Amino acid sequence: MDGDGGADRGAGPIGWRPQPGPQALFVRCPLFEVVYGGARGGGKTDAALGEFGLHAQEHKAAAKGLLVRRHRVALEPTIARARQIYLGEATWAEAKSRFEWANGAVLYFRYLDNDADADLYQGHDYSRVYVEELTQFPNPAPVDKLKATLRSAAGIRCGFRATCNPGGPGHNWVKARYIDAGPMTAVEEPFRNPFTGKVRTLARMFIPARLADNPALLRNDPGYIPRLQQSGSAELVRAWLEGDWNVIQGAFFDSWSNRNIVTPFAVPRDWTRLRAFDWGYAAPFSVGWWALVPEDRRVRPGLVLPRGALVRYREWYGCNGRPGEGLRLDAETVARGILEREAGETIAMAVADPSIFSEDGGPSIGERMRRAGVRFRPADNTRVGKAGALSGWDQMRARIAGTEAGPMLAVFDSCRDFIRTVPVLQHDRLRPEDLDTSAEDHIADETRYACLARAMPPPIPATPPAADDSWRRDWGGGRGPGARARGWKAL
């Protein structure tokens, strides 16, 4: 094989060979879980298909693979490419949607556009599971269910392999789980089988994909890069070419920038304070404390918060550390937590998700919190503006974009969960004027309530200032809780 010592896994009789670099690493990596992600056209899908070809040769009838994509149409080009790669090795059985090898190996092609369908795989067993475009899955639950199907009666080493590009509704969890641990770094982590509850320690690794590592594509299709360059903004093209996870495709709040993040300062006593709340029990709740800037205030050289700007000076995000999962606190406990955090402050106004006032056979959440000493009034819950009206997300967007004088919405850099979840929110695929609610949107909802409680007066600037993306570099890092990382020397 070509050069880099991967001969043991690249020299079989199938026509396909991994290219040197990440593809070769991908097919040789012995760890249970390998995620290959980054640049478009980096050779990820080829690597996944080729890896199974080699696995099938090696393990014959014990090789049982499942390749999953989110959407059915997206499977078709993958099947077409697999036909080329497996030519003379395996045949496509349309009715069963699988490739069959004469030696008994099989590779199923399936799609999973509904998270609940992952339950149908309970009791299955595969030696390889491939998830293509992992970032198309808004949350990891269905993926973890597929992972739980990896076991082999023949006792061969099983493995989970996934490919992905930056962007998409799952960008956030994929980045936090795999990319932030660092490239080529083995991470050991307990994995709880969602079907049986059994916990075992599994090792995983992220391999970054770059277009430059796919000379086969560049040789055969010299127009590929110029075509990419014409089909997106400079930032997006950079994300595609370099596989940069800190550049976010299609961010809903696209004018969010470094100027929306400020170093904490003591909020003067006479500033008006506002508390906003989005209730959650199984899902996270979000409490945001906002101060209204009474006069233009210079917060750092070159940055002024104009009169009327809202500053998020504190937050309490009720998440148990796993994205999208709540703390399961009752209304009284949340109320007590709020009172403790704001002790000594005068809160002039408090707004909350109107649904907390609905009664369902007993006192509402809002009423229980009132009895515990925390009052709210129902927030305006309009998400998308009707003709001409500036409401919901428009207000929030306009505040983030701000005016020439400065941003009308800023957050203290201590509000880590806001900074982690809001800027990466994406447009809804079917309703682009709304945001994709399958991502972690609780803090955005709570912020929307705050923005509507202090609506910006028209006019709104026609041209928002150019985005400064340095916040992404500053804030893109961090490791998942409990992850243990060590350099992977096995290569």
Structure tokens at 370: 């009132």
* Residue 448 interacts with, from ligand ATP, Mg ion, none (CB under 5-8 Å by kind): none
The HSE-up count of residue 278 (CA atoms within 13 Å, CB side) is 24
To Mg ion, the closest distance from the beta carbon of 211 in angstroms equals 12
- Touching Mg ion, residues 36-95 (CB under 5 A): 44-45
Residue whose CB is less far from ligand ATP, 220 or 463: 220
To ligand ATP, the closest distance from the beta carbon of 131 in angstroms equals 13
Question: Omega of the bond prior to 208 within 30 degrees of 0, cis?
Answer: no
Binding footprint of ligand ATP on the chain (CB under 6 A): 16-19, 23, 40-46, 81, 163, 165, 209, 214, 216-217
Q: Which helix (H) or strand (E) holds 339?
A: helix 331-341
Residue whose CB is less far from ligand ATP, 216 or 490: 216
* Residue 312 interacts with, from Mg ion, ligand ATP, none (CB under 5-8 Å by kind): none
To ligand ATP, the closest distance from the beta carbon of 391 in angstroms equals 38
Residue whose CB is less far from ligand ATP, 37 or 407: 37
Alpha-carbon Rg for the chain in angstroms: 25
Residues 6 or more apart in contact with residue 252 via CB below 8 angstroms? 393, 425, 426, 427, 435, 436
To ligand ATP, the closest distance from the beta carbon of 157 in angstroms equals 23
Considering CB under 5 A, how many residues would be counted as binding Mg ion?
A: 2
Number of other CB atoms surrounding residue 80 within 10 Å = 10
Structure tokens at 58: 């090696």
Residue whose CB is less far from ligand ATP, 50 or 423: 50
Rounded Cα distance, 139 and 135, in Å:
9
Residue whose CB is less far from Mg ion, 49 or 419: 49
> Interface with Mg ion includes 127 (CB under 5 A)?
no
Structure tokens at 458: 């028209």
To ligand ATP, the closest distance from the beta carbon of 244 in angstroms equals 14
Residue whose CB is less far from Mg ion, 38 or 159: 38
> Interface with Mg ion includes 214 (CB under 5 A)?
no
Residue whose CB is less far from Mg ion, 46 or 394: 46
To ligand ATP, the closest distance from the beta carbon of 89 in angstroms equals 15
To Mg ion, the closest distance from the beta carbon of 488 in angstroms equals 24
Provide the residue type at 159 as one letter: G
Please say whether the beta carbons of 64 and 126 come within 8 A: yes
> What is the DSSP secondary structure assignment for residue 175, as one 8-state letter?
I
> Interface with Mg ion includes 165 (CB under 5 A)?
no
DSSP string, 367-395: HHHHHTT---EEPP---SPPTT---THHH
CA neighbor of 279 nearest in space, from 381, 391, 383, 409: 381
Residue ranges in contact with Mg ion by CB under 5 A: 44-45
